[in-house]
Amino acid sequence: MDRRDFLRSVAAISALWAVEFAPWQSMSAFASEMDDFVRGPAIKDYPLRQVSKHVSIIFTPHGFPTPDNQGMMSNITFVNTSKGVVVIDTGASVQIGEMAIRQLEKNFRKPVVAIINTHYHGDHWLGNHAYVERYGNSLPMYAHAGTIQAVKGIQGSLWLSLIEKATNEASLGTRIVPPNMPLEHGAELRFGDVTLRIHHYGKVHTPSDLCVEVVEDGVTLVGDIAMNQRIANMDDGSYLGTFKAYDALEKSTRTKIWLPAHGVPAANVLAWNRALFEGIYYPCEQAIKDGLPLEEAKTLVLKDKRVASQAKNTKGFEANIGKYVSIAYLEAEAAGF
């Protein structure tokens, strides 16, 4: 029996004792105590990078969760306002959230006044746990209504389990803390000298992605609807929806820097991702028109100059291109009817 199995056995026995002999103790409080008892190790500190006047990020070079990176795979963004710090996407565990809090309190010496979760994939919200521990349950945590519903449902437990397994249980102790305040397209949140404008354009990376425009800085956080040198997960998404969202964002914002949750912020993030996705989707669309099967569509995609030029520098390309061609093929087939 290893240490974690031992601790779980102790926790199970203690839980039985609590029910039998201490019925006055709330089970939720007891569960919180067990989280502290059976808890993964702290994560190392990652430095801040300033992106613009009000925006800084904790940047991660990692593409996917592993035991070595302890799930640190998604950029964490801080918007420094005169009213306090707004955190956009909190990371994949309570340990990552605690690390981010150490960094923001050291660098800004201000409280966190709000959190925004861009969508329901766990590397963007599982860190919420650390913030309610530090700042209390009344902390406003915003997301699209669809994200809130998904986190409270199957996606919450699914992602908690996925991250724990991928990190070899380094994220143990993390609890599901759903966002609690819904946001819709066009909403504006004002925090003293900073305005955050919310964009939602339907199904893109998921059905409920939010993009957050930091109006005064000309910076827009795009979550996972665009990445930089990483192929985005499209299992829950839409290629056509992605192109529509890019068009709308470029038309409705004055963005100088696009800030992805995965990859380096830059002016060309949407253009880079658009080229890759067009190189995947449109050959599939042509294959459908020509009556070609999926395997021949994949051959056309791999020969497309937009794809071929980016394949070597795109994290996760080899492992995922087959699946994402299949997704594009099915979407193009459905769009043709």
More confident residue, 263 or 25: 263
Lowest mean pLDDT among 17-26, 36-45, 221-230: 17-26
Smallest Cα–Cα separation from 146: which of 201, 213, 79, 214? Answer: 201
Q: What is the pTM of this model?
A: 0.89
- The answer on pLDDT for 321 being more than 60 is yes
Residue 62 pLDDT: 84
Residues 43, 95 contacting (CB under 8 angstroms): yes
How large a percentage of the chain has pLDDT more than 90?
84
For the domain covering 48-267, report its CATH number. 3.60.15.10
Q: Where are the domains of the chain?
A: 48-267, 276-335
Residue 18 pLDDT: 42
pLDDT tens, position by position, 247-262: 999 999 999 999 999 9
What is the separation, in whole angstroms, between the first and last Cα of the chain? 57
- The answer on pLDDT for 53 being more than 50 is yes
Residue 36 pLDDT: 55
Residue 125 pLDDT: 98
Residue 233 pLDDT: 86
What whole-number distance in Å separates Cα of residue 212 and Cα of residue 184? Answer: 11
- The answer on pLDDT for 29 being more than 60 is no
Starting at the edge strand found earlier in the chain, the sheet holding 76-81 runs: 48-50, 55-58, 76-81, 84-88, 112-116, 141-144, 181-183
Q: Which two tokens stand for residue 191?
A: 């925090």
Buried b (16+ CB within 10 A) or exposed e, 120-140: bbbbbbbbbbbbbbeeeeebe
How large a percentage of the chain has pLDDT more than 70?
89
pLDDT band at 4 (very low <50, low <70, confident <90, very high): low
Residue 15 pLDDT: 42
Q: For the residues 189-211, what does the mean pLDDT come to?
A: 98
What whole-number distance in Å separates Cα of residue 258 and Cα of residue 245? Answer: 13
- The answer on pLDDT for 31 being more than 80 is no
What count of residues does the chain have?
337
Name the E strands within the chain: 48-50, 55-58, 76-81, 84-88, 112-116, 141-144, 181-183, 188-191, 194-199, 211-214, 219-223, 257-260
Calculate ∠ Cα 110-56-46, nearest 5°: 90
